[in-house]
């Protein structure tokens, strides 16, 4: 018996005013579709079928680049004719898994969770249901379909606009998530009709058809209060982001992480933060970022897929796919580009960019410096304004700076070049060849002084100014 999932992700989201599927809109830096898919994988579902529609090639591209635990396929819903019609497009997928159970989820309802999926499946199988609806109990049920319970399960789902007075008082709502016995779903799926004002095929009609055929139907109340939440416009998407952001931050507050101010703070759900670390205003922690213990992540930092050691201090730092070892002090206004490794005890000052380079232990890169495609040893000192010229317009070359070297202010290192151990470069030099260990390299053009040149230029400028202001 196989348990699998169909995710409905064909919506355009016209009210979002975007040229991509609504399910690819981000919540705390990840598409809503990713939230749904990862919940399914965490619940152990190993086969996923995504029903795509508008700009479906974007769904395909996302799935292709994603590292998936489950086998993922897509099918096209060329016309958007309702949720039931969307599931019909996955008929081949359903028939290939007819001996099991199929979960149907909405790709734009990101807060479905593994515990809800697993709990609903357990109830579904224990009671041998044809369908089990995932529900939520809310204080304000306006706009949601009401789940009508009986002694032995449910008798159906009534849309808000069709409810009578008693049904309007019901607080248990349909989340849009369903477990079906796949063979029972196939038995009724193609019997549903578009007999409604929208002319669409509603998946909810399958519940009534199954009950009429004597199939058991029940509902699982999720403990997740947000399981039914989705977004139809930018206002709704902002609400989802606020809910997710605060849920993540509250979890870290419970773990003892200090947040000095929440203005502009966003923490991705896969981020890990060590004890004793302080997060300050304007910080964004994205992707699979890992932060060690006793760090200070200062104002306006952006860390994406970056690993930070213990005791690190960052101030106005942007780091992408980088590694920073223990006790480094970096910033303000520093960018660490991909494949940069800042080793233990390094100090990096203001307006510095590191790209695809290793900066050895105890090295100091003070300010106004670019280090690209370089292998820098330990205890190296960079003066102000140093640049590694790593690109000749066609190819990129590496610079090697060995331990204890001293790179003077405004030095240009034209790669490929190696600065030996303990070597010095004089301020203002453009180094184009290797420098031996313990040597001093001075590579400057010969000064040419033209007497009275400036005096003549000033006289010309003065006359032009006087002529322009005569009279």
DSSP string, 378-437: SS-EE-TT-EEE-B-SS-B--EEE-TT-EE-TT-EEESSEEEPTT-EE-TT-EE-S-B-T
Q: Is 275 annotated as a binding residue?
A: no
Is 100 labeled as ligand-binding?
no
> Residue 227 region, left (φ>0) first, then alpha (ψ -120 to 50), else beta?
alpha
Instruction: Specify the DSSP class assigned to residue 55.
Output: T
pLDDT, average across residues 383-409: 95
Bigger pLDDT: 199 or 319?
319
Same domain, 145 and 280: no
> Are both 203 and 260 inside the same structural domain?
no
Residue 449 lies in a domain: no
158 and 144 Cβ atoms separated by less than 8 Å: no
Q: Are strands 131-137 and 172-181 parallel, antiparallel or unpaired?
A: antiparallel
More confident residue, 469 or 371: 371
CA atoms of 6 and 50, how far apart (whole Å): 6
Q: Torsions phi, psi of 25, nearest 5?
A: -65, 145
Q: Which of 151-155, 290-294, 359-363, 430-434 has the lowest mean pLDDT?
A: 151-155
Confidence at 144, pLDDT banded by 50, 70, 90: confident
Q: What is the mean pLDDT of residues 371-377?
A: 98
What per-residue confidence (pLDDT) applies to 140? 87
Residue 423, domain member (yes or no): yes
pLDDT for residue 229 is more than 80: yes
Catalytic residue among 152, 235, 341, 367: 367
Give the pairing type, strands 347-348 and 329-330: parallel
292: tokens are 């060690």
Is 467 domain-assigned?
no
Q: Assess whether pLDDT exceeds 80 at residue 253.
A: yes
Residues 413, 419, 424, 429, Cα dihedral to 10°: -20
- Indicate whether 216 and 302 sit together in one domain: no
CATH number at residue 319: 2.160.10.10
Residues 193 and 270 in one domain: no
User: Do 283 and 394 fall within a single domain?
Assistant: yes
Residue 465 lies in a domain: no
Banded model confidence at residue 69, pLDDT cuts 50, 70, 90: confident
What is the model's pLDDT at position 406? 97
- For residue 405, pLDDT beyond 80: yes
Residue 62 labelled as part of a binding site: no
Measured CA to CA, the distance from residue 127 to residue 154 in angstroms comes to: 12
Per-residue exposure over 53-88, b if at least 16 CB sit within 10 Å of its own CB, e if not = bbbbebbeebbeeeeeeeebebbebeeebbbbbbbb
Q: Does the pLDDT at position 13 exceed 70?
A: yes
pLDDT at 1: 67
What is the number of helices (H) and of strands (E) in the chain?
Answer: 10, 41
To which residue do tokens 């990129």 refer?
396
302 domain-assigned:
yes
- The Cα–Cα gap between 379 and 431 comes to 20
Q: Report the distance separating Cα 229 and Cα 249, nearest Å.
A: 19
Inter-residue contact 404 to 360 (CB < 8 Å): no
Residue with tokens 């609504």: 22
**Residue 422 above 80 pLDDT?**
yes
Do residues 358 and 377 make contact, with C-beta atoms less than 8 angstroms apart? no
In the block, residue with structure tokens 């002694």: 151
- Ligand-binding annotation for 427, yes or no, is yes
Q: What was the pLDDT predicted at 397?
A: 96
Residue 284 lies in a domain: yes
Same domain, yes or no, for 18 and 137? yes
pLDDT value of residue 471: 61
Do 249 and 212 fall into the same domain? no
Per the structure, the complete domain to which residue 144 belongs is given by 3-221
Q: Write out pLDDT tens, residues 98-118.
A: 999 999 999 999 999 999 999
Whether 381 has a binding-site annotation, put simply, is yes
Please indicate if the annotation marks 70 as binding a ligand. no
Residue-wise pLDDT for 115-135, tens only, equals: 999 999 999 999 999 999 999
Mean pLDDT of 46-65: 95
Please say if 367 is a catalytic residue.
Answer: yes
Last-in-domain residue among 194, 221, 248: 221
Residue 139: band (very low, low, confident or very high) from pLDDT cuts 50, 70, 90: confident
| Residue-level pLDDT at 114 | 97
Domain boundary among 167, 192, 221: 221
Which of 212, 216, 215, 239 lies closest to 228 in space, CA to CA?
239
| 399 annotated ligand-binding residue | no
Residues 6+ apart with CB under 8 A from 164: none
pLDDT above 90 (res 161): no
Per-residue HEC secondary structure of 226-283 comes to: CCCCCCCCHHHHHHHHHHHHHHHHHHHHHCCCEECCCCCCEECCCCEECCCCEECCCC
CATH number at residue 151: 3.90.550.10
The mean pLDDT of 37-57, rounded to a whole number, is: 95
Residue 169's Cβ-count burial label (10 Å; 0-12, 13-18, 19+) is exposed
* Mean pLDDT, all residues of the chain: 94
Domain annotation covers residue 453 = no
Reading across the β-sheet that carries 341-342, which strands appear in turn?
A: 272-273, 290-291, 307-308, 323-324, 341-342, 358-359, 374-376, 399-401, 417-419
Average pLDDT over residues 250-269: 96
- Give SS3 for 155: strand
Number of domains in the chain: 2
266 and 183 within one domain: no
Same domain, 326 and 402: yes
- Would you place residue 460 in the very low, low, confident or very high pLDDT band (cuts 50, 70, 90)? confident
| Integer Cα distance of 163 and 161 in angstroms | 6
Q: What is the 3-state secondary structure (H, E, C) of 8-41?
A: EECCCCHHHCCCCCHHHCEECCEEHHHHHHHHHH
Judgement on whether residues 116 and 240 belong to the same structural domain of the protein: no
pLDDT at 2: 83
Asked if 305 and 163 sit in the same domain, the reply is: no
Q: Are residues 304 and 210 in the same domain?
A: no
CB count within 10 Å of CB 466 equals 9
- Residue 202, annotated as binding a ligand: no
8 A C-beta contact, residue 177 and residue 104: yes
d(CA 316, CA 364): 18
Average pLDDT over residues 360-380: 97
Count of CB atoms situated within 10 Å of the CB of 17: 8
Residue 274 in this model has a pLDDT that exceeds 80: yes
Summarised one tens digit per residue, pLDDT across range 297-347 is 999 999 999 999 999 999 999 999 999 999 999 999 999 999 999 999 999
CB-based burial label for 98 (10 Å; 0-12, 13-18, 19+): middle
Q: Which pLDDT score, from 0 to 100, does residue 456 have? A: 85
Average pLDDT over residues 449-454: 83
451 within a domain of the structure (yes/no): no
Is the predicted pLDDT of residue 195 greater than 80, yes or no?
yes
């Amino acid at each position: 018996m196989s348990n699998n999932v169909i995710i409905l992700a064909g919506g355009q989201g016209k009210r979002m005013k975007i040229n991509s599927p609504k399910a690819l809109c981000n919540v705390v830096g990840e598409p809503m579709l990713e939230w749904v898919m990862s919940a399914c994988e965490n619940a152990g579902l190993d086969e996923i079928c995504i029903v795509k529609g508008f700009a479906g090639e974007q769904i395909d591209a996302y799935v292709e680049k994603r590292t998936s635990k489950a086998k993922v396929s897509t099918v096209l819903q060329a016309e958007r004719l309702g949720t039931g019609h969307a599931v019909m497009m996955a008929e081949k997928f359903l028939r290939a898994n007819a001996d099991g159970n199929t979960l149907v989820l909405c790709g734009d309802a990101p807060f479905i969770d593994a515990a809800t999926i697993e709990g609903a499946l357990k109830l579904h199988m224990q009671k041998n249901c044809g369908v089990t609806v995932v529900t939520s109990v809310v204080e304000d049920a306006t706009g949601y379909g009401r789940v009508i319970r009986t002694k032995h399960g449910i008798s159906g789902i009534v849309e808000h606009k069709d409810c009578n007075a008693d049904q309007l008082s019901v607080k248990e709502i349909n989340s849009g998530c369903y477990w079906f016995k796949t063979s029972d779903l196939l038995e009724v799926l193609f019997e549903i009709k578009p007999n409604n004002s929208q002319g669409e095929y509603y998946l909810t009609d399958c519940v009534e058809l199954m009950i009429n055929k004597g199939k058991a139907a029940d509902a699982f109340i999720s403990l997740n209060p947000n399981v039914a939440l989705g977004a139809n416009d930018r206002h709704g998407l902002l609400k989802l982001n606020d809910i997710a952001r605060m849920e993540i931050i509250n979890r870290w507050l419970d773990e003892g992480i200090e947040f000095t101010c929440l203005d502009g703070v966003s923490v991705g759900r896969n981020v890990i933060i060590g004890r004793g670390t302080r997060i300050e205003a304007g910080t964004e922690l994205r992707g699979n970022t890992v932060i060690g213990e006793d760090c200070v992540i200062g104002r306006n930092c952006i860390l994406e897929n970056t690993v930070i050691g213990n005791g690190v201090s960052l101030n106005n730092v942007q780091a992408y796919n980088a590694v920073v070892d223990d006790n480094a002090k970096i910033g303000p206004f520093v960018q660490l580009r991909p494949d940069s490794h800042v080793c233990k005890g390094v100090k990096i000052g203001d307006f510095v960019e590191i790209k695809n380079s290793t900066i050895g232990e105890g090295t100091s890169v003070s300010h106004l410096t670019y280090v690209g495609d370089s292998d820098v040893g330990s205890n190296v000192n960079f003066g102000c304004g140093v640049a590694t010229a790593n690109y000749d317009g066609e190819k990129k070359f590496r610079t090697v700076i060995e331990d204890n070297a001293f790179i003077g202010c405004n030095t240009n290192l034209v790669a490929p070049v190696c600065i030996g151990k303990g070597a010095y470069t004089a301020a203002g030099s453009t180094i184009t060849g290797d420098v031996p260990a313990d040597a001093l390299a001075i590579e400057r053009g010969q000064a040419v002084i033209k007497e009275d040149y400036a005096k003549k230029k000033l006289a010309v400028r003065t006359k032009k100014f006087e002529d322009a202001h005569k009279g």
